[in-house]
Amino acid sequence: MTSELIDRAQTSKTGESTLDSPRSSDFRRKRPDSVSRMFRTRAPFFLIGVAIAAFFFQFFSHSPSPIPDSVVDSELVLPTRRVLLEESATNLKSKSGKVPVGLRGKRKRILVTGGAGFVGSHLVDRLIERGDSVIVIDNFFTGRKENLFHHFGNPNFELIRHDVVQPILLEVDQIYHLACPASPVHYKFNPVKTIKTNVVGTLNMLGLAKRVGARFLLTSTSEVYGDPLQHPQAETYWGNVNPIGVRSCYDEGKRTAETLTMDYHRGAGIEVRIARIFNTYGPRMCLDDGRVVSNFVAQALRKEPLTVYGDGKQTRSFQYVSDLVEGLMKLMEGDHVGPFNLGNPGEFTMLELAQVVQETIDPNAKIEYRPNTEDDPHKRKPDISRAKELLGWEPLVPLRKGLPLMVSDFRQRIFGDSKDATANAAS
């Protein structure tokens, strides 16, 4: 088994020169022979080595992999990689009874855009309560830090001042996309910015969802039905929307946001959910934002007349915010894309609502009629059969129960502390 190379090393150890000696020229002359002898002697070992390597490669490449090949191969399904990894982790758990270290009990990282606003801040409360890690991005156009003060200092909570019209990169598992002014007063204030927020902002958040493999939920609106010709409105109704009116920046903006969401879903494999939210009320709504419930409550508390636009016979349905948050979370966690109507089917005329406000706050509150605003829909009432059947969701809080919960918050914000509030309310 001694090879010429070993021989050569031994020779050099003896102190003889290996460069100029006659032996060295011998070696050069004999090299072809020695190489072939080396191959002859080592070839069997080499072949055995190759066979062992091939066997191992074959065996391990067929063992169950936590990421299916198709996921690694296809650019198209890249976004769903995290979800598949989570599924694989579950499978691993069920097979072996153990989850690899680091995957056990993984809390979700959730981005809430517009989380400093009315609905967003209630959603953040529920997600934190569930044990998730929450990042809020908000430009504070209509949102307020005060809505989130109680989470400051919590390591599971982060607040970033950011405008969704600009891209951002954050590692998250789910995105609740709420950023957009929701009341007519605010969305009409800068209509171009409103449509930009709806279109460019939604594009940016969908791009982020694609990049990090997050599930994306769009908070759309019942306004996509416009002034509806179908009553109540089911999700299959395509709407009756004025594309050039003063509300179009919002209505058409949200319709385009829905289109983008579905196109990213079909074209890029993003997991998406769409909620069409109907009128919602509750604590932390902006005071004086032109939405009928907050208007009436603030006016009644300040002893001002309740302003009713038109003849007051137009109808709306009013959903308490905790019901909406429950619906959004069920939608996000469920298996259905939607769109889903999330609203309370209890229908009230504006005059009936004014009456409930009078009963709750001030029986002597006066009503003042004003001319109706342009494109104000006559009727709005959700058909929620789809949400009932597929999400197992329906609202639980009736208007007469929800309104008093909102009134105490408004009292506190209008009159300062609750002592003042009581004094003022009583005067």
Ligand X SMILES: NC(=O)c1ccc[n+]([C@@H]2O[C@H](COP(=O)([O-])OP(=O)(O)OC[C@H]3O[C@@H](n4cnc5c(N)ncnc54)[C@H](O)[C@@H]3O)[C@@H](O)[C@H]2O)c1
The DSSP output letter for 371 is: P
Please report whether residue 253 would count as binding ligand X according to CB under 6 A.
no
Q: Using CB atoms within 10 A of its CB, is residue 374 exposed (0-12), middle (13-18) or buried (19+)? A: exposed
Alpha carbons 234 and 244: distance in angstroms, whole number = 24
Stretch that binds ligand X, among 68-76, 176-184, 203-211, 353-361 (CB under 6 A): 176-184
Q: Could you give the 3-state DSSP secondary structure of residue 109?
A: strand
Q: Choose, by CB under 6 A, the member of 83, 99, 103, 165 that binds ligand X.
A: 165
Is 250 a residue of the active site?
A: yes
Q: How far is the CB of 324 from ligand X (least distance, A)?
A: 8
Q: Which is nearer to ligand X, 117 or 232 (CB)?
A: 117
Q: Choose, by CB under 6 A, the member of 111, 112, 120, 172 that binds ligand X.
A: 120
CA distances in angstroms from 140 to 4, 401, 404, 406, listed in the order given? 81, 30, 27, 22
Q: How far is the CB of 344 from ligand X (least distance, A)?
A: 11
Q: How far is the CB of 412 from ligand X (least distance, A)?
A: 18
Residues 321 and 342: beta-carbon distance below 8 Å: no
Please report whether residue 180 would count as binding ligand X according to CB under 6 A.
yes
What b-and-e string marks burial along 171-185, b requiring 16 or more CB atoms within 10 Å of the CB?
A: ebbbbbbbbbbbbbe
Within residues 215-234, the interface with ligand X by CB under 6 A covers: 219, 221
Please report whether residue 114 would count as binding ligand X according to CB under 6 A.
yes
Within residues 296-355, the interface with ligand X by CB under 6 A covers: none
Alpha carbons 112 and 179: distance in angstroms, whole number = 8
User: Pattern of binders to ligand X over 259-278, x per CB under 6 A?
Assistant: ------------------x-
Q: How far is the CB of 210 from ligand X (least distance, A)?
A: 19
Q: Could you give the 3-state DSSP secondary structure of residue 258?
A: helix
Please report whether residue 175 would count as binding ligand X according to CB under 6 A.
no
Using alpha carbons only, what angle is made at residue 341 by residues 338 and 346, rounded to the nearest 5 degrees?
A: 160
Alpha carbons 49 and 53: distance in angstroms, whole number = 6
Pairing relationship of beta strands 306-309 and 315-317 according to DSSP bridges: unpaired
Please report whether residue 189 would count as binding ligand X according to CB under 6 A.
no
Q: Which of 176, 82, 79 is nearest to 124 (CA)?
A: 176
User: Pattern of binders to ligand X over 134-153, x per CB under 6 A?
Assistant: ----xxxxxx----------
Q: Choose, by CB under 6 A, the member of 111, 112, 182, 397 that binds ligand X.
A: 182
Q: Which is nearer to ligand X, 221 or 261 (CB)?
A: 221
Q: Which is nearer to ligand X, 71 or 137 (CB)?
A: 137
Alpha carbons 7 and 123: distance in angstroms, whole number = 79
CA distances in angstroms from 296 to 103, 119, 288, 403, 412, listed in the order given? 50, 19, 9, 11, 16
Q: Which is nearer to ligand X, 65 or 166 (CB)?
A: 166
Spot the catalytic one: 176, 187, 250, 281. 250
Q: How far is the CB of 332 from ligand X (least distance, A)?
A: 14
For ligand X, the binding residues (CB under 6 A) are 114, 116-120, 138-143, 163-165, 178-182, 197, 201, 219, 221, 277, 279-280, 286
Instruction: Just list the catalytic residues.
Output: 250
